[in-house]
Amino acid sequence: MATRRFALLSRATFVGGVTLTVVLFAVGAWQRRWIADDGLIVLRTVRNLLAGNGPVFNAGDRVETNTSAAWTYVIYFFSWVSHARLEYVSLAVALTLSLLAVVFAMLGAARLWGGSAAQLLLPAGALVYIAVPPARDYATSGLENCLVIFWLGVLWYLLIRWSQAERPRPASLAALAFWAGLCWVVRPEMTIVGGLALVMIFCAPVPRSRLHPIVLRALLVAAGGLVPVGYQIWRMGYYGLPYPNTAVAKEAGGAKWSQGFTYLWDLVGPYYLWVPLLVLVVVAALVLRSRRAASLRADVPAAADGESADDKSTRDRLRRLQIRLRTPAAVVALILVSAVLLIIFNVRVGGDFMHGRMLLPQLFCLLLPVSVLPVRLPSRQADSSSSRQVGSSSSRHAFGREWQWSLALPLVAWAATVGWALFAADQDSPDAGSTITASGIVDERVYYVLNSGHSHPILAEDYLDYPRMRAMVRDIEHTPDGGLLLSSPSFMSWYLAPPPLPIPPGGYEHTVYFLNLGMTSMNVPLDVRVIDQEGLAYPLAAHTDRLVDGRIGHDKNLYSDWVLVDTGMVDQHPWMPPFLDEKWVQQARTALSCPDTQALLASSRAPLTRARFRHNLLQAFHFAKYRIDRVPRYEIQRCHLVDPTRPPAPN
C-alpha cells in the first residue's frame, strides 16, 4: 500500500511539474509575443509558395533566404491547411512547438532517471531554460528557434527510449534515423547533433529480426539520408548553392573568435547563467555516483551480455564498446558533446547580433539530461530491502548517510534552481534594446517594440510605424512607372532612381533596396522586388567580401551603384540620386560584366531547365566560394577588365 501511494505521489509530482513548467513558459512567451523582422522574411517566401512562384523571396530569382528549410515548409503547410493569416499561423505554430519541446525534454529526462516509486522528478533544467528572457522572446518570434529545440527535444526522447529498449523494432529504429537525419533541413549546424546520433545508431548493435543485419543497417542509412540527401540535390540544382544563401551572406565559415566570446558572455554574464548550470551538473554527477555505488553493493553485473571482463582481445573490446553505444550514458555523452561543439561553432563564427538567440539551442541541449531532477523518497520498504542487501551494521550506517545526502542535495539544488529562475526571469537584457551597442548585439524584441511603437509587433502593418516604412509604401503608390527605391545615406528618406524611356505598358517593376527585408517585403505586393545590402535576398551582395570591422551579422554592404546598373535604371544626373557618382556607376557596369559574375547571377536568374539544373548541381561549391570586391575599380582589376573611366594609354 505504501509503495502504491509513493508511486501515485511520484507520478502526480512529475505530471504536475511538466504542466506547471509548460504553463509558465506559455504565459511568459505570450507576454513577450512578437514576430521579428527576420521572421517576416520567412513569411515572404511562404507567400511566394502559396502564389505558385516557388520557394523564393522574389519571383524569378531563386534565392534561399531562410536558413531553416524545414521551418519554411512547416509554416507553408499550416498556412495552406488553415488559410489563416500568415502572421497568426507563424505565432501559433512557434508557440506550440516551443511548449512541446519542453515536454519532450522532461519526458526524456524522466526516462533517463527512471520512473521509480521511491523518487520524485522535479522540474529543474526546464525551469532554467524558460527563465532566461531570450528563451521566451524567441518562443514566438517567427524564427526557427522553436523548431530547432522541438527537434532536439524529440530526438533526445527517442534516443533515450532506444537506449533502454530490450529489443528495438526495425520500424522504430528507422523512425529514429529518419528524425535524426532531418538535422540538415532543420538548421545546417544541427548536423553536429544529428550526424553524431546517426553514427551512434549505425554503429550500435542491431536487434535480431527477420531482416539481415546488413539489410537493417542499409535501411537505417536510407531512412537517415532520405530527406537531407534528397533536399541537398534539389537545393544545389535549384539554387546553385550547397547551403542556404544566408550562410554565404553571413560567412558561416569565417572566424571571429573575439566577437564570439563577447556574444557568449552577453548571455551567460548578465543572468549568472553559470550558477544553475554548475549546480545541476554537480548534483547530477553526485546522484549518478550514489546510484553506481548502490549498484555495486547490490552486485549488479557490469556487463549484461555475459562476456568476461578479463577478455582483452581487440575484437571483444570493440564488441563491448559497441554494446555501450546503446546505453543512456552514451546518449547523455552524445548530447553534451554536441552542445559543446555547437557552442564552439557559434563562438568561432562570431555569434550573432540578436541577444541570446543563437545560443538557445546549445543551452537547451546542455539542460536536457537535467530537465528534471530526481529526489529520493524516504521509503521504509526501500530502506529495509536495501539494508538487507547491504548486511552489516556499518554498511547500513554508511547507507543511511548516503541516503540522507541523496535526499538533501537534490532538494537543495532544486530550491537553488527555483530561486535563480525567479531572479533571472525578471532581468532585462544588458542594453535593454534601446540602442545598438559597440558590440553590435541588441535585444531584438525590445528594439523593434521601441522603434515601431507597438508592444507586440506581430502583423506586417505593425512595422509600418518603423521609420521610413510608410514613406516607402507611399512612394511606390505614387510612381506607377516603377523604379529603384534607395534609402538616403542618412537613412531619413527615400530616393527614386527612374527607369529609362520608353516606359512599357504597365511600367517597370519596383525594386526596394533596404536592409530590413521582412517588414519591407511583407508590406508590398509580390511584384515588388525587395533586395538588401547584406545579401540575404541578393546574391550580388552576398558574394562580396566580408567587412573586417563590420557589425556581426551585418558585415557586408554593397554600394548602391551596383544595384542601379543591375536593375537597369537611369544612370545619369540629374535623374539618378545625387549621392551616387557617375564614374562609380560606369565602373560598376563594367565590373558587372565579369564572366564569372554573370555565371553566378545566371545560376539563380536563368530559366530553370534540365541543363541549368545539372550545371548548378556541378558548380554549386564553386559558386559558394566565389567572391567579388564591392569597390567597382578593384573588381575591374580582379577580373582583368578595362576601366572605362581611365584615359587610354598613349601610344
User: What stretches of 244-379 show up as alpha helix (H) in DSSP?
Assistant: 245-249, 257-268, 274-297, 314-325, 328-349, 360-367
Write out the H or E segment, with its range, that includes residue 519.
helix 517-521
Look at residue 396 and tell me whether its pLDDT is greater than 60: no
Q: What SS3 state is found at 576?
A: coil
Name residue, grid cell 540535390: 233
pLDDT digits 0-9 by tens, 494-518: 999 999 999 998 889 999 999 999 9
pLDDT digits 0-9 by tens, 151-181: 999 999 999 999 998 888 888 999 999 999 9
Domain boundaries, the chain: 1-296+320-378+405-426, 467-639
CA–CA distance, 531 with 557 (Å, rounded to integer): 12
- Select the more confidently predicted residue: 436 or 300: 436
Per-residue pLDDT band for 295 (boundaries 50, 70, 90) equals low
CA–CA distance, 295 with 208 (Å, rounded to integer): 29
Q: Can you give the pLDDT at residue 117?
A: 63
Per-residue pLDDT band for 488 (boundaries 50, 70, 90) equals confident
- Select the more confidently predicted residue: 479 or 408: 479
The CA-atom distances, in angstroms, between 608 and each of 54, 55, 60, 604, 605 are: 12, 13, 10, 8, 8
CA–CA distance, 91 with 99 (Å, rounded to integer): 12
Per-residue pLDDT band for 325 (boundaries 50, 70, 90) equals confident
Q: Can you give the pLDDT at residue 410?
A: 83
Look at residue 401 and tell me whether its pLDDT is greater than 60: no
CA neighbor of 461 nearest in space, from 524, 512, 516, 531: 524
pLDDT digits 0-9 by tens, 1-31: 667 777 788 888 899 999 999 999 999 999 9
Name residue, grid cell 564553386: 622
Q: Can you give the pLDDT at residue 428?
A: 76
Hey, what amino acid is at 270? P
Per-residue pLDDT band for 190 (boundaries 50, 70, 90) equals very high
φ/ψ of 512, rounded to 5, equals -110, 125
The alpha carbon dihedral of 464, 465, 466, 469 has a sign of positive
Look at residue 468 and tell me whether its pLDDT is greater than 60: yes
What does the mean pLDDT of the chain come to? 89
CA–CA distance, 419 with 638 (Å, rounded to integer): 60
Name residue, grid cell 513569411: 43
| Residues in the chain, total | 651
Look at residue 211 and tell me whether its pLDDT is greater than 80: no
Q: Can you give the pLDDT at residue 301?
A: 41
- Strand residues in 359-463 grouped as ranges (E): 372-376
Average pLDDT on 184-210 reads 91
The 3-state secondary structure of 557-568, one letter per residue: CCCHHHHHHHHC
